[in-house]
Amino acid sequence: MATYNYVSPSGLIVPDTSQILADTENEWKALFGDDLDVTPDTPQGMLIASDVAVRAEVAANNAVLANQINPNYAGGIFLDDIWALTGGKRRAASYTLVDGVQLTGIPGVVIPSGSRRAANGNLFELLSTVVLDNAGRGVGIFQALEPGAIACPAHALTTPVVGYTPPGWETSDNPQAGLIGSEAQSDFSARKERRQTLALQGRSVAEAVFSNVKALSGVNSLSLRENTDSATAIIDGITLAGHSVWVCVDGGSDEAVAAALYRAKTGGAGWNGAVSVAVTDSWSGQKSIVQFDRPATRPVMAKFTVSAKTVGTGDPASLIKDTILNYASGQLTNGEEGFVLGADVSPFELSAAANTASPSLFIKSVEVALKAAMPTWSKEEIAIGLNEKATIQVDDIIVVTL
CA neighbor of 306 nearest in space, from 378, 382, 228, 365:
365
Write the pLDDT tens digit of every residue in 117-159.
999 999 999 999 999 999 999 999 999 999 988 989 999 999 9
pLDDT of residue 313: 53
pLDDT of residue 2: 61
Instruction: For residue 206, count other CB atoms closer than 10 A to its CB.
Output: 16
Instruction: For residue 166, count other CB atoms closer than 10 A to its CB.
Output: 11
Write the pLDDT tens digit of every residue in 344-400.
999 999 999 988 887 778 899 999 999 998 999 999 999 999 999 999 999 999 999
According to the per-residue pLDDT averaged within each range, which of 2-11, 110-119, 213-222, 352-361 is highest? 110-119
User: Which position has the higher pLDDT, 387 or 91?
Assistant: 387
Average pLDDT over residues 22-36: 90
Question: Where does the pLDDT of residue 87 fall: very low under 50, low under 70, confident under 90, or very high at 90 and above?
Answer: confident
Question: How far apart are the C-alpha atoms of 76 and 186, rounded to whole Å?
Answer: 9
Strands 296-308 and 397-401: parallel
Question: How far apart are the C-alpha atoms of 349 and 355, rounded to whole Å?
Answer: 10
Question: Where does the pLDDT of residue 6 fall: very low under 50, low under 70, confident under 90, or very high at 90 and above?
Answer: low
Question: How far apart are the C-alpha atoms of 190 and 225, rounded to whole Å?
Answer: 25
Write the pLDDT tens digit of every residue in 325-342.
989 988 887 777 889 999
Average pLDDT over residues 187-199: 80
pLDDT of residue 211: 86
pLDDT of residue 8: 63
User: Which position has the higher pLDDT, 15 or 385?
Assistant: 385
pLDDT at 192 over 90: no
Average pLDDT over residues 58-87: 86
Question: Where does the pLDDT of residue 18 fall: very low under 50, low under 70, confident under 90, or very high at 90 and above?
Answer: confident
pLDDT at 70 over 90: no
Question: Where does the pLDDT of residue 42 fall: very low under 50, low under 70, confident under 90, or very high at 90 and above?
Answer: very high
Question: Where does the pLDDT of residue 268 fall: very low under 50, low under 70, confident under 90, or very high at 90 and above?
Answer: confident
Torsion of CA 284, 286, 289, 294, to 10 degrees: 40
pLDDT of residue 228: 87
The answer to whether the beta carbons of residues 118 and 146 sit under 8 Å apart is no
pLDDT at 245 over 70: yes
pLDDT at 293 over 90: yes
User: Which position has the higher pLDDT, 214 or 102?
Assistant: 102
pLDDT of residue 281: 83
Question: Would you mind telling me the total number of residues written for the chain in this entry?
Answer: 402
* Burial status of residue 345 (CB atoms within 10 A of its CB: 0-12, 13-18, 19 or more): buried
Residue type, 252: G
pLDDT at 283 over 90: no
